[in-house]
Structure 1
Amino acid sequence: MAVTIIMKSSKGPIVDPALCRCCRSIKKCRLLSSEYEWMGKKEVYSDMLMDCFGLLLSHLDGDSKDSCICATCVARLREASAFRNQVLQSEEVFLNARLEENKEDGDAKSFIEVKTEPNDGIDSDTHMDDREDLSIEHQDSKPIAKQVRAETKQQTPQEITRRRSLRSQRGQTEGTVDKEVMGRMRGLRSKLDRMLETPETSQKNKSIASKPKKTTDDNDHKAYANTVTIVHNSYVCPFHNRVSNYYCYYCKDQFTNPNELREHTLTHDPKEMFESMMEGKKIPKIDITRIDCRLCPEKIDDLETLKSHLTNVHGKVLHPITNEFLKFRLSLNNITCTECNSSFPYFDMLKKHMIDHFGTFICDMCGACFLEQNSLRTHIKSHNKVEASFPCEICGKNLKSKYSRYLHVATVHEKKPTVNCYKCEASFLSYALRNKHLIEVHGDKRTFPCKLCDKVYNRRKTLMEHNRRNHLKVYRHQCDLCDQRFYLPSRLKEHMATHTGERNFRCEFCDKSYPRLQSLQEHIRSHSNERRYKCDVCNSTFTQNGSLKNHLKSHHQGYEMDSSYN
Structure 2
Amino acid sequence: MESNFSDSMCRCCASEGVFKDFNSTYQWMGAEEVYADMLKDCFDITLTVSETINSGGICEVCITQLRNAFNFKKQVQYTEEQFKRKIEEMKFKTEIVKVEEAGEDDFPSDHNLSDDDFSSPEYDIPIIKMESSSESAKSKKRATKGATTRSKKAKTEDGETSAKRSKWDGKYTLKVTDQEKKYECNDCQRAFPKRPNFTQHYTHVHLKQGPKLRSCHLCDVFVTGSRRSRHMEEVHGLPRPTCAACGKKFCFPSKLIKHQKTVHMGEKNHPCTRCDKSFATRYAMLKHCETHSELRPYNCDVCGKKFKNKKGLSVHMDIHNNRRRYKCEACDRGFVQTSSLKYHITKHHPESV
Q: Shorter-chain TM-score category?
A: 0.3 to 0.5
Does 1 or 2 have the higher relative contact order (CA < 8 Å, sep 6+)? Answer: 1
TM-score w.r.t. the length of structure 2 is: 0.38
Larger Rg: 1
TM-score w.r.t. the length of structure 1 is: 0.26
